[in-house]
Chain A
Amino acid sequence: MSLGSRIVALGHYQPSRVVTNDEIAQLVETNDEWIRDRVGIVSRRIADSETVADMATVAAGKALANSGLAPTDIDMIVVATCTSVDRSPNVACRVAAKLGIPAPAAFDLNTACSGFAYALGTVDHAIRAGAARHALVIGAEKLSEFTDWTDRSTCIIFADGAGAAVVSATAEGEPTGIGPVVWGSAPEKGDAVRIEGWRPYIAQEGQSVFRWATTELAPLALAACERAGVTPGELAAFVPHQANTRIIDGIAKRLGIPQAIIAKDIVESGNTSAASVPLALSKLVERREVPSGAPVLLFGFGGGLTYAGQVVRCP
């Protein structure tokens, strides 16, 4: 049993292929200015032959290398994804096989864009309960496979990538690095974001999602701060799901956190669903923009509709 857990290392992976707004404008009736204005994306990364498991494995391998732990130390892997094409084996087992992790508890979790924060909460609980000591928490998505490239309302938004964290039990006397998760859903709004049916495409009601996100989520994000004993003014950074810069700005404004770095990885990465939070967090830490130990508010939200968030301490 442990009193808590903390993120000890991060890693991420993005496909090498950069797709600009001008390229999208050759596929559908749109333009660079319109896309920048509506969603804030300048370019995004689109996978070629890489699978969700391939991207998850590279991100997790980097996090593991950064942690200094051996593959044999990892006893749990949770992958947040809603775009794995294979029904079985799950992505977590694929990652374990590729990284030589011999016998972890391994499962995938699907809460769409809020997935990483759900997975992080689940792993924190497992560690506190004594069910794991060192875990890999991964968000990985290949949304391009589920994108209708003739639908200009969605194909401008979604992209591919993966981010991963190594989460370890805290030692005795060491402060916990993952605050209590605030999670839930708004199932009556389930039709607002959909990837339904056999060989489906992403569809969403943009106005409905925008309204929900910009009006309902800030109080829940503030509740996550309160539960962690951190005031909004103490946050070093806010890393929300990278859905749309106007949603990010709308939530940040209601949080009242002028001192905090607001992650805007969407500008160069697009919306990568469950991968967006760990991807943005990993880059912030890699660029040393957030000092070690500083409190960062993570907040995922999306299909379901679902949401989850918690305050974490940066590795």
Chain B
Amino acid sequence: MTREEITTGLAEILEEVAGVNPEDVAEGKSFTDDLDVDSLSMVEVVVAAEEKFGVKIPDNEVQNLKTVGDAVSYILAQS
């Protein structure tokens, strides 16, 4: 999977879970500050991402995923 494909997949999840416009999703965007994803929605995003990409993202890792790019890198490393 490429970084672009993972970003697109995350954009779909963010739209579904938190109503984020897919066009706003880019690697440099912060989940909290730019995309307005709160801490509980972030958990829903992580759970959906685990299913979609077949990876494990433990609780203690979630706080390190500040930006979309952080999540893309983590998923890429695990898959």
CB-based A-B contact count at 8 angstroms? 26
| Residue B44 at the chain A interface, CB threshold 8 Å | yes
Query: Which residues of chain B from 19 to 50 have any CB-CB distance to chain A below 8 Å in the complex?
Result: 38-40, 42-44, 46-47
Q: How far is the CA of A210 from the CA of B38 in the complex (A)?
A: 13
Q: Report whether B39 and A211 are in contact in the complex, using a CB–CB cutoff of 8 Å.
A: no
Interface centre among B40, B42, B46 (most CB of A within 10 A): B40
Query: Which residues of chain B from 25 to 79 have any CB-CB distance to chain A below 8 Å in the complex?
Result: 38-40, 42-44, 46-47, 59, 62
| Residue A37 at the chain B interface, CB threshold 8 Å | yes
* Residue from the list A37, A214, A244 in contact with B47, Cβ < 8 A: A214
* Residue from the list A205, A210, A215 in contact with B40, Cβ < 8 A: A210
Distance in angstroms from A38 CB to nearest chain B CB is 7
Q: Report whether B44 and A214 are in contact in the complex, using a CB–CB cutoff of 8 Å.
A: yes
Number of chain A residues whose Cβ lies closer than 8 Å to a Cβ of chain B: 13
Question: With A214-B43, A214-B47, A215-B47 given, is the CB distance from A207 to B59 under 8 Å?
Answer: yes
Q: Report whether A206 and B59 are in contact in the complex, using a CB–CB cutoff of 8 Å.
A: no
| Residue A31 at the chain B interface, CB threshold 8 Å | no
Majority DSSP secondary structure for residues of B touching A = helix
Which single residue of chain A is at the shortest CB-CB distance from B57? A211
Q: Report whether B39 and A206 are in contact in the complex, using a CB–CB cutoff of 8 Å.
A: yes
Q: Report whether A211 and B38 are in contact in the complex, using a CB–CB cutoff of 8 Å.
A: no
Distance in angstroms from A242 CB to nearest chain B CB is 16
Query: Which residues of chain A from 214 to 266 have any CB-CB distance to chain B below 8 Å in the complex?
Result: 214-215, 244, 246, 250
Majority DSSP secondary structure for residues of A touching B = helix
Distance in angstroms from B23 CB to nearest chain A CB is 24
Range, interface on chain B = 10 to 19
Which single residue of chain A is at the shortest CB-CB distance from B62? A207
Provide the residues of chain B in CB contact with A38, threshold 8 Å.
38, 40
Q: Report whether B40 and A246 are in contact in the complex, using a CB–CB cutoff of 8 Å.
A: yes
Q: How far is the CA of A250 from the CA of B43 in the complex (A)?
A: 12
Give per-residue flags for B7-19: 1 if the beta carbon is below 8 A from chain A beta carbons, else 0. Answer: 0000000000000
| Residue A72 at the chain B interface, CB threshold 8 Å | no
Question: With A214-B47, A215-B47 given, is the CB distance from A208 to B40 under 8 Å?
Answer: no
Instruction: Give residues in B with beta carbon < 8 Å to A.
Output: 38-40, 42-44, 46-47, 59, 62
Task: Supply 10 further A-B pairs (C-beta < 8 A) apart from A210-B40, A214-B44, A244-B40.
Answer: A37-B38, A38-B38, A205-B59, A206-B40, A207-B59, A210-B43, A211-B43, A211-B47, A214-B43, A214-B47
Contact sample, A vs B, 16 pairs, CB 8 Å cutoff: A38-B40, A205-B59, A207-B39, A207-B40, A207-B42, A207-B43, A207-B59, A207-B62, A210-B43, A211-B43, A211-B47, A211-B59, A214-B43, A214-B47, A215-B47, A250-B44
